[in-house]
Structure 1
Amino acid sequence: MLGRMQPGLGVRNPRTAQVDPAKMQGMYHWDDLRVFLAAHRGRSHAGAARLLGLDATTVGRRLTALESALGARLFNRTRSGLSLTREGAHVLAAAERIEEQLLGIEREVGGSDVRLEGLLRLTAGEGLMSLVLMPHLLAFREQHPGIDLELRTDPRPLDLARREADVALRLFRPREEALVVRRLGTLPYGLYGSEAYFARRGRPRTLRELPRHDFVTFDASLDAIPEMRWLRRHVPGARYAVRANSTSAILSACASGHGLAAVATAFAATDPRLVRVVPAAKLPSREVWSAVHQDLRGNARVRALVSWLADLFTRLEREAAPAHASQETS
């Protein structure tokens, strides 16, 4: 990535067993500090390897080399993972300052890039990416053949300030100060089941029947999302037959007959086995927002993708409106 640089880190003073700020003349590879940061954030060599796309052996070797160069042990190795030593905490503070400076340079340079070619990283939830975007992204690639599109569906929101992604799609309005956001559209939600489930448990027709039925839902980590709040409010004590952390697993479980599911109508439309039930159930819609770091708002690739996404969601909403209205009145 970068060659040797002056990171503002001192060499360990053997008398005090601390990183000595008086000895700032050492030169360290930024890549080694990047591995150090990933090890801290990933809590293990394996976690760092996943974050960086390296193998755990390489991570361990780079950390050993950095500790040797500094003359200090940076991590305690425990059964629960890596924890910083006192010296490691000093290195962390300096390494994060360096990282932020380098990321700022990258964002500033990237923000003025007028080329419609090169890498562009898009992140979105697994359901939104696989079920809504993927069938249409070929059109974007054909319009912009010079753009190398990289798609990320990490369960955690990626950090745009750290350039983990260039454009993010989220089902809520992002609030981070450094982000430029745009509302792209809405995703209506409904209750769905399958003939496999109806054959076992019957098909609910009214809200009052729902407490007698089983449900397929997200796991407890997503209890705060709108559809989960709706379910708790309208079906208190609901029986959860299956809980999962992915949209595709929930759709598959629902289609296989495990229970009813509250999902976006656009997601349900991808599986003909899913059938809308209880049209009177007015589930909250979810807004779709794009987010980019303010330093990248002038980047030509970013602007092209966000504009294309806005057009896509406008068209999808327009096409879905008649079908959704028909379901509401059926």
Structure 2
Amino acid sequence: MFDWQDLKHFVVLARTGSLSAAAREMGCDHATVGRRVAAMEKALGLRLILRLPRSTPLTQDGKMIAGLAAEIENQSHAIVRHARSAGETPQTQVRISAPPSVAARIIAPQIAQFHQDFPHITLILSGESAIAELDRGDAEVAVRMVRPQQPDLLVQRIGLMRYALYATPQHAALPEAARAFIAYDHHYQHQPHQQWLQLLLQGRPVVFEASDLFSLQEAARSGLGAVVLPTFVADSDPELVVLPTAIAAPTRELWLVTYPDLARSVAVRAVMTFLADIIEKKCPLVT
């Protein structure tokens, strides 16, 4: 019989594609991952990976075992989710994943009211651009800007994020030909709001790029140029005004996501109702 820890290391290696990536996820060094997989191979009497200088592709047996092992991993996560929903204590934690702007400008300001209503529930909020892996326990509830396609997830459309072009009144007063622009860096070039900005440029320069919305907002507040921002972030900023545009601004749907077994938890249901209510107020589906 193989060691379950060896199987776990192999599953992560198969999913991530390299010893170093698997080691980062497992919180160990790559030699440990290699040693665990070697032990798995010895126990099964099968070669699972090819040890090449710069990669570790799976053998045919490795691919077959990885597919079977992934099912075991999914079931183990389901067991953990059931335990979380069934084993609530008087003091419960619920982890939320949301885009940084939604986390900072919509959710965080309302945490005090939630705590007053539900003092026994501790919220752990993660504002990140990456999509949280609910099946791996990264969060119990997620707010996403793309509708998930997994059929086993519980999905609810809760808001519509709107965008506009903003600048200081002084920059807005410049002739259009003299206007400069601020943008996300190249990692976001395929996002709808960045593609919209490209249509607005018409040969005018992008003078500053950043990887996060709040840096862009502060740069715009300094008078550097015009920037595309969510309306729930910038409409309340006294230093910025909306600039008219000939092309209609894009919108992004916001989705609330969890697993059905987690939604049976009283605490998770309370958090989902809270998120749906506050996001709909700031990003209403209907104007």
- TM-score category of the 2 structures, normalised to the smaller one: 0.7 to 0.9
- 1:170 is displaced (CA, Å) by 1.7
Query: Does residue 203 of structure 1 match 2:172?
Result: yes
- 1:244 is displaced (CA, Å) by 3.1
Structure 1: give runs of 5+ residues left out of the alignment: 1-25, 322-330
Mapped partners of 1:50, 1:147: distance in 2: 31
* CA distance 1:77–1:225, change in 2 (3 Å): same
* CA distance 1:224–1:85, change in 2 (3 Å): same
Contact 2:95 2:124 in 1 (8 A): yes
Residue of structure 2 equivalent to 1:7 = none
Residue of structure 1 equivalent to 2:193 = 227
1:29-80 Cα offsets, whole Å, 9 max, x none, are 2x4433333344444555335434x2x43x532541341343256363544x
- 1:277 is displaced (CA, Å) by 3.4
User: Percent of pairs identical after alignment?
Assistant: 26
Residue of structure 2 equivalent to 1:240 = 206
- 1:82 is displaced (CA, Å) by 4.6
Query: Does residue 176 of structure 1 match 2:147?
Result: no
* CA distance 1:215–1:108, change in 2 (3 Å): same
Q: Secondary structure at the match of 2:275?
A: helix
Residue of structure 1 equivalent to 2:278 = 312
Larger Rg over CA atoms: 1
Mapped partners of 1:77, 1:268: distance in 2: 51
- 1:136 is displaced (CA, Å) by 1.8
Residue of structure 1 equivalent to 2:101 = 127
Mapped partners of 2:275, 2:253: distance in 1: 14
Structure 2: give runs of 5+ residues left out of the alignment: none
Q: Secondary structure at the match of 2:181?
A: strand
Matches within 5 A, 1:44-83: 44-52=18-26, 54=27, 56-57=28-29, 60-71=31-42, 72=47, 74=49, 76=51, 78-79=53-54, 82-83=56-57
TM-score, length of structure 2 as denominator length: 0.79
Matches within 5 A, 1:1-330: 26-29=1-4, 31-52=5-26, 54=27, 56-57=28-29, 60-71=31-42, 72=47, 74=49, 76=51, 78-79=53-54, 82-86=56-60, 88-112=62-86, 117-194=91-168, 198=170, 202-204=171-173, 209=176, 212-268=178-234, 272-273=238-239, 275-279=240-244, 282-316=248-282
RMSD: 3.3
Mapped partners of 2:103, 2:141: distance in 1: 13
